[in-house]
Amino acid sequence: MNRIQKLICLIPVILVGFIFNLRGQQDHVNLNFNPQKNYENLIPFAANVISPEVLDDKSVIFRVMAPEAENISLTGPVILLELKSDKPIPFTKGDDGLWTLKIGPLRQDIYFYFLEIDGVKVADPNNTFIGYANQPGYSLLVVPGDGPAYYDARDVPHGAVTRHIYHSEVLDGEREMYVYTPPDYDKNKTYPVLYLFGGSGELASTWNYFGRINFIVDNMLSEGKTIPMVIVMPNNQVIHRTTPGHREITHALFEKELINVIVPFVEMNYNVSKERHGRAVAGLSMGARHSQVVGFRNLNMFASFGLLSAGFESLDQTPAVFEPDFNSKVDYLFIGCGQYEPDSYGSVHVELEKLNIDFDYFKGGYGAHDFMTWRYLMYYHFLPKLWKTKN
């Protein structure tokens, strides 16, 4: 075989290697830890410009093609906090009708943001990474580090997340929950179970899709930082969020839903612990208050608790904390909030201190009342100590 024949034979191999190593900006081919870098200068499907574009120095360019618009700005509490701005940041309009804004560099994390276009707050029309929950949709900005973060998909064994649809007699309708099972889940083995709740703006899917709790636990298991567990993520929205008296009504309703419907469903379909030392409840914001009120009122069922950015909930609703044997019934109680949250979040620890209740408390990271905080607290503080009980 001469040199030309050899070259011809190699061309298909070279092309295949080239094609499979190409990555487009927001291509959604693989779970790329740096999905908004412009690798090929290809516009995302159904978009008209590239936005956002994350540069190598971690600065970001946003673009909107809107020749008729009069004002466009970047907004959102998380990203404005990082940029130390107390008001939306304006774009600049070009002669061709293309609006642009460059910011940063930013810290490694996942940010959410909105655009304001002539006074209307909208998701970025060119960004294919969209968050959704019990609130209008928002855009996600992924700023990477030098490699996959603790919340990214890494080359490690992965667990499974299953969506269940079930009927609730308590709430008279069809509802959903997501259940994470660890890698190599064994139906003949009993696992501890964490019931994990969202906040008032979240749905059952949010802890998985935006909180990335499945990747967090996969990575922690590969690092030996936690033990295999089942995580149940139900929808803890039980009435319309703007219903008058929501806060007073929701606790009792969700307690019935959890105790009478969710826990029995999980224990019928998964081999999880049915004793209190193998059950935990945790949540963010409203879900943290649910964990406090519902969890503390059912110490016969739960022994570990994670209150993330809880805010203050009257301890009168949880009389068990006034009992002298409360500490002996609790295996682990964690209270945490973000560095830039108001003092009211996590403030339940002040009242518990007065009662000599044992707990871990942490305020830190660089987030506020957002998933930058809640992912951080789960990975670095709550999950490493959960199940390391005193019993």
The CA distance from 374 to 284, in Å, is 7
H-state helical runs in the chain: 3-21, 77-82, 206-209, 213-223, 246-257, 263-269, 286-296, 326-329, 348-354, 371-377, 383-385
Tell me what pLDDT residue 23 has: 59
Tell me what pLDDT residue 179 has: 98
Tell me what pLDDT residue 200 has: 87
End-to-end CA, the chain: 73
Range(s) within the chain of domains with CATH label 3.40.50.1820: 160-385
Cis peptide before 90 (omega within 30 of 0): no
Tell me what pLDDT residue 248 has: 77
Tell me what pLDDT residue 249 has: 84
Long-range contacts of 32-41 (CB under 8 A, 24+ apart): 33/142, 33/144, 33/145, 33/147, 33/148, 33/149, 33/152, 33/153, 34/142, 34/144, 35/129, 35/142, 36/60, 36/127, 36/129, 36/141, 36/142, 37/144
Residue type at position 31? L
The count of residues in the chain is 391
Tell me what pLDDT residue 390 has: 58
Written out in words, the top-level CATH class of the domain with range 53-143 is mainly beta
The CA distance from 298 to 291, in Å, is 10
Which residue(s) pair with 346 in the sheet?
none
Residue 290: strand, helix, or coil: helix
Range(s) within the chain of domains with CATH label 2.60.40.10: 53-143
Spatial neighbors of 301 by CB under 8 A, at least 6 apart, are 259, 263, 276, 279
Residue 4 phi/psi, 5-degree rounding, is -65, -40
- At 147, list the tokens: 């490699």
pLDDT tens digits, one per residue of 40-78: 999 998 999 999 999 999 999 999 999 999 999 999 999
Fold observed for domain 160-385: Rossmann fold (3.40.50)
pLDDT in single tens digits along all 391 residues of the chain? 554 454 444 444 433 333 344 456 898 999 999 999 999 999 998 999 999 999 999 999 999 999 999 999 999 999 999 999 999 999 999 999 999 999 999 999 999 999 999 999 999 999 999 988 888 889 999 999 999 999 999 999 999 999 999 999 999 999 999 999 999 999 999 999 999 999 988 899 999 999 999 999 999 999 999 999 999 999 999 988 788 887 778 899 999 999 999 999 999 999 999 999 999 999 999 999 999 999 999 999 999 999 999 987 788 888 899 999 999 999 999 999 999 998 788 788 899 999 999 999 999 988 899 999 999 999 999 999 999 865 4
- Full-model pTM: 0.92
pLDDT tens digits, one per residue of 114-160: 999 999 999 999 999 998 888 888 999 999 999 999 999 999 999 99
Residue 157: strand, helix, or coil: coil
- Cα-based distances in Å from 55 to 47, 51, 52, 59: 19, 12, 10, 5
